[in-house]
Structure 1
Amino acid sequence: MPPETSSAAPAAASTTPVAETLATAVAALGGTTRAGQVQMAEAVARALAEGEHLLVQAGTGTGKSLAYLVPSLLHDKRVVIATATLALQHQLVERDLPRLVGALKGRRLDTSYAVLKGRSNYACLHRIREGVPDDQGTLSMDIPMGDMATKVLELRTWAEEQAQSQGTGERDNAPRHTDREWRQVSVTHRDCLGAAKCPFGEECFAERAKEKAQKSHLVVTNHSLLAIDAIEGVPMIPEYDAVVIDEAHELVARVTQAATDELTANDVERAARRSQRHVDGTEADDLADAGEALRVAMGDAAAGRFTALPADLADALVLVRDAARACLSAYPKQSGDTASEAGPDPGLQQARGSVQELFQIAERMAEHKESDVLWLAEGGERIPARLCVAPLQVWAQMRERLLSDKTVVFASATLKLGGDFGVVAGSLGLRKDDAELPWRGLDVGSPFDYGRQGILYVARHLPTPGRDGMVPAVLDEIVELIDAAEGRTLGLFSSRRAAEAAAEAVRKRLPHLTTLAQGDAQLPELAAQFVGDPHTVLFGTLSLWQGLDVPGDTCQLVLIDRIPFPRPDDPLMSARQQAADKAGGNGFMQVAATHAALLLAQGAGRLIRTTSDRGVVAVLDPRLATARYGGFLKASLPPMWPTVDPAIARQALRRLAESAG
């Protein structure tokens, strides 16, 4: 079979074990057989059996979760399911898997499953019961006073109840709280004492989760943990045979994020303060001096990407690296491993861990290899300036450390860009006609009739977006479309400033509608209000492009203000584009256009979520119709009926509004 196939045709009736098991599950759950779902399930089963990598595009409504869960349960070895979002992870563990296991009850299948998250997602009993060292190394049980203190005490009580009832201690199940409050009852992997040294190791929620995963056939985790385990080489997941990566269009970004390090002068000074209690010589003071030198050098440097490090900044990084190394050497030998009657010294272990991490990051930045991108990010009122380093590419690491060792199934509603799988496959480490790592692409289509259900309207008559923000003609267009739709609009914008400008114009000119903008409240609250009142408009940025699911009459118009190319000053994207040009490729198409195509497809996908949904996707950027790359971008979108006539778009929206009532 060629490495790349595309089919949305109905699958023939099948009596294979996977098709039969899937039919049993679907019937037990009260569903109906979907040809694309059967086709995907059989393709996943084949990939797992033959060790062939698979990219499968399954449109919204296909039922892809069942299509990979059933063959994964039938596989004779452990399979890892990795998701990008906590929402999908929660859906799998709390809804899909329990229902599937119930439907298959009585069959001779190992239907055991477990969820694994990063350590900071679990409450830490050591921190709750004995406190943690402050910056001076003093063990402290203090927490801020007022409402936060009340909430933290509530979280501590909840955690103790979880420990007593053998609960999971997972953050998702905790009483409502903020990030800051959760940090008072949890630790990162760096600050964890480890099960062998912690007096509460046997009760540890994170360790219990690992033990359950060790005994389970399916392990549900996230992209970041998978990256740390497989690519960074830090063992986090029990040995497994294959992995299904859902929301696979997000994988490269998540792997890059997991391999990105940041450094601030505050980090250095904090590590120095924590070391002063444990180091007798001047090494901790020397580390503090290095932190001050770094602060000065960062203050003198211009924000942005460095093709070569400024001399002062290079010297400061070397100073931090060498001071951190000397400080590590000055720590008492093996003290962190000594089990005295008082138990391990968490202050010493965690202080040393912070210096170790500091040394590794400073060394990576000081070396500044061609395989890394280094930049200075400006600070703000509450965020200090920080140095960042990220891998230029991750496909080689994925190819060498994941694809060469495991069978991988990549699943998403968005894997074909410009009409084929090659672009995404290449970013993941797979080549066309790859003899060494065979793979294939499969598009099982969608149960939706996009040509009848949706209109793609491109506002060809509008001016090309520039740096001046929302010009009057664009605001007029937005108001006219929303007026025709009588609300029912999700606005996806390239920047917070553009979203706020549009919201202000709509509030002023269409006061009878409810206009919400991202930032007015928490996203779940905004989404609930949007769903609750059809005469509502919701404007926002990136998290709405991918994270909102609002089927029905609530959303009949999706507005996209401009093609979502990466910012020209984005350090990582600009470096990748430059590298592609240098290698003889087309950096714009390989990086910028690919990034835009993925986001456009995700954004347009917010419109049609069920077979009864109808509506218009309006792109207010004429380049989608006029630029040479427009064809590539449109080929990445669902096949909706196209028009450039604003009157047709408004007329369709009025008809939909009238029928919705």
Structure 2
Amino acid sequence: MTDSLPSVSDLLATAVESLGGSERTGQLAMAEAVGNALATGEHLAVQAGTGTGKSLAYLVPSLRHAVATGGTVVVSTATIALQNQLVDRDLPRLAAALRPELGVSPPHAILKGRGNYLCLHRVSTGPVDEADPEEIETEELFDLPLGGESTAARTPRQASTRDTGPSSWLGREIARLHDWAQETDTGDRDDLPRGVSDAAWRQVSVTSRECLGQVCPEFTECFAELARQKAGQADVVVTNHALLAIDAMTDVSVLPEHDAVVIDEAHELSDRVTGVTTAELTGTAVIQAARRAAKLVDQQTADRMVAAGEGLATLLEICPEGRWDLLPEGADLALAAVRHTAENCRSAVPGPKPGEVANDPQGASDRQKTLAALDEIADAADRMLSSYEKPVTERVEIVWMSVEDRRGRILRVAPLSVAGLLRARLFAESTVILTSATLTTGGRFDGLAATWGLPPASSARPDTASAVALEPPSDDDASSLRWTGLDAGSPFDYRRNGILYVAAHLPAPGRDGTSPAAEDELVDLITAAGGRTLGLFSSMRAAKAAAELLRERLDTPVLCQGEDSTANLVAQFADDEETTLVGTLSLWQGVDVPGRTLSLVVIDRIPFPRPDDPLLSARQRAVGARGGNGFLAVAGNHAALLLAQGVGRLLRRTEDRGVVAVLDSRLVTARYGGYLRASLPPFWQTTDRDVVIGALERLRNA
């Protein structure tokens, strides 16, 4: 059927005309490259700058491929905002526009993790006005949403067992969820008017391990299963990186059969997969699981696990924070006790009685939840102990301890690298298209390709003319994988519209905070711009200090991340040209404010990861042990990608003008400075302060 369908370029032209857009050279090059990859099975990495129209460039060939082959294309994103844009706007409009050409209106669907859907079984068997006190942690509860992104601003609360009655805030939220269950068609948490806390949502949802599966009396009406069925009939299924990782990295099949995957925001793929494959242990979690198990096993077995949890908690109190290259004294015994007692509890849990699900649905649900908790604890302890069976230089997993304000001491284990997992479980199974506005570091794709498990291809330099297949080295583990690198360019005239200013006269940033000279520079730049500034800082402490300084020395408004929800702060910033907004990580990647409101982006320092970051420092050491430049391969690539994301906040439309000012002289004085600058858009570059001050004043008065 492929030959009877219009070409990708013809379909793109139809879509652009129908949707009221204009032809873009980079968009056409990307669309044709995606179409070629889908046809040949060759993987593709595409860097497509802001304004290229990359969503349309991969959706058009994806729909054509699905119609031609009868297969399904999975589109994975890192953020809820992009998922919603694709499902609510882009795909419906595109399907309607292409129906005359394709002969059908290709169906699409969105699929999320099971925990994002309301569980009818829990609703029907759980209390309407109270929660199980064992599930309510006694520290502050912040609504950190599933998938890492909030859909509503929610207030932190101090939870206790007194807060679970019908008149409590938690009880009221649970009651509202029960009412909503009677009227929702999707059960999707993101469709719930006014958000609820995670504590409340946990009372009406289950994880995949806790789910009763086909024996559940509500299985035929299950919202998660209905979403999966809809996805199974779709030509394009939109999901997130976490669910894609679960589907690829585990034996649990959560996505429908598919032969192609498009990964948007692909610069975040490795970090999201690492997050999914990271396990953790706390003494509290072990004790809570044991107490839950005590309802199903003999008291002595449960008490032993409680004792193991208490032992772990005591040990963590005296152990060092950070990476554990060697097991602290007593840690091996504590972890072995946790593993052993969790496995014993797991074995002691009796199997379900005939008809139990129908006669005692709450009991069946409690059993499944208990088994899930015991499995997770035993697996985490086993991974931690197993990681020490090899010498430091040969380990594939890293163990470290973090100390968090809300949760205390947490022991974690994560893969040193997810490249092998991605290579074996993703790239070997499907044709993969990876795209983002920032995929190259130092002007090459090699940095991210290594984290994805693709073979090095140093000849894959950005090429706006074509996407040529690259021959990987035959001695690489991934030598059977073929991939193509393409830089689709950008419609922006960077050299004409933007200036990259590096304050080379300033001292290099130190650990003691911003220098007085850098403070003066910051004030002078914002004054020249008349506000209209986005300040991107390497830490929240630095952002708050800058906000305090600016409020003392400027007459224009200053907003600081954390004082309101990010969405509200960005809206206030966009509404007032004289406002300055300062913040940290989420602003580096999440702000889209076109026009005169944003004329100056200030970056306080090169965003290198912390030297004591347990996982990144271990990865850096591993590269060095193999004879590579660990600093550049890990810390340098991390900084280059984040720096490119931050710089990308400036120009959002072709008519935008402005300055990116970096107050870190190392960007031009250090040996790695050229590598980092090669990762940025080709702005006109200068170190002349007077030139920049004059340019900002002219922009302000234009």
- TM-score by structure 2 length? 0.88
The residue number in structure 1 matching 2:351 is 333
After TM superposition, the structure 1 stretch with the greater mean CA deviation from structure 2, 85-94 or 326-335, is 326-335
The residue number in structure 1 matching 2:541 is 497
**1:83-232 matches, cutoff 5 A:** 83-106=77-100, 107-109=102-104, 111-131=106-126, 134=132, 145-162=167-184, 167-180=185-198, 182-190=200-208, 192-232=210-250
Q: Which amino acid aligns with 1:105?
A: R
After TM superposition, the structure 1 stretch with the greater mean CA deviation from structure 2, 319-328 or 335-344, is 335-344
Q: Does 1:601 align with 2:644?
A: yes
The residue number in structure 2 matching 1:58 is 48
Once the 2 structures are TM-superposed, how far is the Cα of residue 652 of structure 1 from its aligned partner?
A: 0.9
Q: Does 1:362 align with 2:381?
A: yes
**1:382-421 matches, cutoff 5 A:** 382-421=406-445
Q: Which amino acid aligns with 2:697?
A: R
Q: Does 1:564 align with 2:562?
A: no
The residue number in structure 2 matching 1:11 is none
- TM-score by structure 1 length? 0.93
SS at match of 2:413: strand
Does the CA contact (< 8 Å) of 1:490 and 1:539 recur in 2? yes
Q: Does 1:485 align with 2:529?
A: yes
The residue number in structure 2 matching 1:290 is 308
Relative to 1, partners in 2 of residues 1:181 and 1:291: Cα closer, same or farther, differing over 3 Å? closer
Q: Does 1:650 align with 2:693?
A: yes
Quote the Cα distance in structure 2 between the aligned partners of 1:137 and 1:229. 27
After TM superposition, the structure 1 stretch with the greater mean CA deviation from structure 2, 467-476 or 561-570, is 467-476
Q: Does 1:507 align with 2:551?
A: yes
The residue number in structure 1 matching 2:143 is none
The residue number in structure 2 matching 1:473 is 517
Once the 2 structures are TM-superposed, how far is the Cα of residue 271 of structure 1 from its aligned partner?
A: 0.3
Once the 2 structures are TM-superposed, how far is the Cα of residue 185 of structure 1 from its aligned partner?
A: 4.8
The residue number in structure 1 matching 2:58 is 68
Once the 2 structures are TM-superposed, how far is the Cα of residue 136 of structure 1 from its aligned partner?
A: 6.5
Decide which of 402, 410, 416 is 1:377's aligned counterpart: 402
Does the CA contact (< 8 Å) of 1:195 and 1:204 recur in 2? no
Relative to 1, partners in 2 of residues 1:147 and 1:270: Cα closer, same or farther, differing over 3 Å? closer
Q: Does 1:634 align with 2:685?
A: no
Q: Which amino acid aligns with 2:86?
A: L
Does the CA contact (< 8 Å) of 1:195 and 1:202 recur in 2? no
Does the CA contact (< 8 Å) of 2:173 and 2:196 recur in 1? no
The residue number in structure 1 matching 2:144 is none
- 1:336-360, CA deviations, whole angstroms, 9 ceiling, x for partnerless residues? 9854533462112211221111111
- 1:198-234, CA deviations, whole angstroms, 9 ceiling, x for partnerless residues? 2222221111110101111111001111111012332
Quote the Cα distance in structure 1 between the aligned partners of 2:164 and 2:208. 21
Relative to 1, partners in 2 of residues 1:505 and 1:116: Cα closer, same or farther, differing over 3 Å? same
Unaligned runs of 5+ in 1: 1-14
Quote the Cα distance in structure 2 between the aligned partners of 1:289 and 1:596. 44
Does the CA contact (< 8 Å) of 1:290 and 1:319 recur in 2? yes
- 1:17-65, CA deviations, whole angstroms, 9 ceiling, x for partnerless residues? 1111111111111111111111100100000000000001111000000
Once the 2 structures are TM-superposed, how far is the Cα of residue 379 of structure 1 from its aligned partner?
A: 3.3
**1:233-632 matches, cutoff 5 A:** 233-335=251-353, 338-343=356-361, 345-369=364-388, 370-380=395-405, 382-431=406-455, 432=457, 433-434=471-472, 435-510=479-554, 512-632=555-675
The residue number in structure 2 matching 1:3 is none
Once the 2 structures are TM-superposed, how far is the Cα of residue 420 of structure 1 from its aligned partner?
A: 1.2
Once the 2 structures are TM-superposed, how far is the Cα of residue 154 of structure 1 from its aligned partner?
A: 2.8
After TM superposition, the structure 1 stretch with the greater mean CA deviation from structure 2, 330-339 or 456-465, is 330-339
Relative to 1, partners in 2 of residues 1:235 and 1:69: Cα closer, same or farther, differing over 3 Å? same
The residue number in structure 1 matching 2:461 is none
Quote the Cα distance in structure 2 between the aligned partners of 1:648 and 1:440. 41
Quote the Cα distance in structure 2 between the aligned partners of 1:261 and 1:222. 20
SS at match of 2:569: helix
Quote the Cα distance in structure 2 between the aligned partners of 1:440 and 1:522. 40
Relative to 1, partners in 2 of residues 1:237 and 1:317: Cα closer, same or farther, differing over 3 Å? same
Quote the Cα distance in structure 1 between the aligned partners of 2:206 and 2:660. 42
Once the 2 structures are TM-superposed, how far is the Cα of residue 639 of structure 1 from its aligned partner?
A: 0.4
Does the CA contact (< 8 Å) of 1:624 and 1:633 recur in 2? yes
Relative to 1, partners in 2 of residues 1:638 and 1:481: Cα closer, same or farther, differing over 3 Å? same
Quote the Cα distance in structure 1 between the aligned partners of 2:307 and 2:47. 54
Q: Which amino acid aligns with 1:94?
A: D
Quote the Cα distance in structure 1 between the aligned partners of 2:360 and 2:249. 38
Quote the Cα distance in structure 2 between the aligned partners of 1:590 and 1:269. 41
Quote the Cα distance in structure 2 between the aligned partners of 1:83 and 1:142. 36
Unaligned runs of 5+ in 2: 137-161, 389-394, 458-470, 473-478
Relative to 1, partners in 2 of residues 1:324 and 1:148: Cα closer, same or farther, differing over 3 Å? closer
Quote the Cα distance in structure 1 between the aligned partners of 2:380 and 2:16. 50
SS at match of 2:336: helix
Quote the Cα distance in structure 1 between the aligned partners of 2:135 and 2:526. 58
SS at match of 2:582: strand
- 1:456-494, CA deviations, whole angstroms, 9 ceiling, x for partnerless residues? 000001110110011211111111111111111111000
Q: Which amino acid aligns with 1:558?
A: V
Does the CA contact (< 8 Å) of 2:212 and 2:368 recur in 1? no
Identical-pair percentage:
52
SS at match of 1:368: helix
Does the CA contact (< 8 Å) of 1:121 and 1:186 recur in 2? no
Relative to 1, partners in 2 of residues 1:225 and 1:184: Cα closer, same or farther, differing over 3 Å? closer
- 1:252-304, CA deviations, whole angstroms, 9 ceiling, x for partnerless residues? 11111110111100000000110111102511110000001101111110111
Once the 2 structures are TM-superposed, how far is the Cα of residue 145 of structure 1 from its aligned partner?
A: 3.1
Quote the Cα distance in structure 1 between the aligned partners of 2:200 and 2:235. 31
By relative contact order (CA 8 Å, sep 6+), the higher-ranking structure is: 1
Quote the Cα distance in structure 1 between the aligned partners of 2:208 and 2:15. 42
Once the 2 structures are TM-superposed, how far is the Cα of residue 135 of structure 1 from its aligned partner?
A: 6.1
Once the 2 structures are TM-superposed, how far is the Cα of residue 648 of structure 1 from its aligned partner?
A: 1.2
The residue number in structure 2 matching 1:6 is none
- 1:78-121, CA deviations, whole angstroms, 9 ceiling, x for partnerless residues? 11000011111111001111111121233314511110111121
Quote the Cα distance in structure 2 between the aligned partners of 1:607 and 1:201. 49
The residue number in structure 1 matching 2:76 is 82
CA-based RMSD of the aligned residues comes to 2.0
